Amino acid sequence: MIASLGRLSAARIVRSSRLWLSLGVWCSLDLAFAVVAREHGWAHGADRVLSTAFGALSLPFIACAIARAAFGGRSMLSSTAPLVAFGAAPWRAAFASTGVATLATALVGASLAALVALVAHGTADPPPVHDAIVSAYVGGLGGAAYATWFALGTTIGRRGGGRLLLLGLDWLLGGAGTPTALATPRGHLRNLLGGASPLNLSERWSAIMLLGMMVFCTMLACRGTKRR
């Protein structure tokens, strides 16, 4: 049942030319940075490109674009209305759409992070294959957390404009060294990519926090459909 409910969001993602254009732009930007890092022989090329261009810039925008496409550029209530009209429970429809957005973002985040790690690999970075695998894990986890973060944003506003609000909040609150970064995906992703950690949290705890954030945001997003 959940798989059938996910078909709508999957089709929206696959058939959105605007999303593909957006993915093309952000992926090209990351790869361009990676190529520059390689050409200039940066010792920590992979680390630097992943923590700046990828983690701080591309991934949030990619996740926002995928969430926008998965929900058809509308609010949670309105984007799941067709499934509810065919007899699906609202929370199931919301869960399926959020799940599809999360999977798609995790996949794109993991692939792009691994590719960037390989292309930008520097002499002081860990062995390339190991670095690519770890980067894929962090990219996937960060992407998934951002997707649920924006799914929650979709429940805010008549047209789901809360996505942009949460994108702004992530930027405002997720600054390096600030305690408020604890409540944003940005703070924990930066920690996992080798940057400053929120409140000196270990990488393991940041990963756990991202997982907790995913569960919390998914639950709140599904709960938002109760109004119907």
Partner 1 sequence: MISLEGVSARRKPASIKNVTVEWGPGVHAVIGTFSDGCALLLAVIVGAAKVQGGRIRVLDGAPTDARARPQIARVGFDPSLPDGLRVDEALALASVLRGDSPRAAPERLSVLGLEALARRPVRSLSRGEARAVALTEGLTSSRVAVLVIEEPLSSSDARTARRIVETLRDKARSGCAIVVATASLRDAGDLADDYVLMRAGTLVGQTTSVNTLASVAPDGAGLALIARDATDARRLVAALASEAEVAGVELLASVVKVRAADPVALARAVARAATQANVNVIEIRRETP
List residues near partner 1 by CB under 8 A.
Answer: 1, 4-5, 7-9, 11-12, 15, 72, 81-89, 228
Contact 152, 220 (CB under 8 A): yes
Specify the residue, 53 or 96, whose C-beta has the smaller distance to partner 1: 96
DSSP state of 177: T
Q: Least Å distance between CB 83 and partner 1?
A: 7
Q: Least Å distance between CB 182 and partner 1?
A: 36
Residue with token string 């705890």: 205
Specify the residue, 12 or 48, whose C-beta has the smaller distance to partner 1: 12
Integer angstrom CA distances of residue 164 from 55, 152, 153, 181, 193: 18, 11, 8, 18, 24
Specify the residue, 41 or 87, whose C-beta has the smaller distance to partner 1: 87
Q: Least Å distance between CB 71 and partner 1?
A: 10
Specify the residue, 77 or 166, whose C-beta has the smaller distance to partner 1: 77
Residues of the chain by 3-state class (helix, strand, coil), percent to 5: 80, 0, 20
Distance CA 207, CA 189 (A): 8
Q: Least Å distance between CB 32 and partner 1?
A: 31
Please calculate the CA angle 156-160-161 and round it to the nearest 5 degrees: 85
Distance CA 175, CA 195 (A): 11
Within 8 A by CB and 6+ apart from 124, the residues are: 43, 44
Q: Least Å distance between CB 9 and partner 1?
A: 8
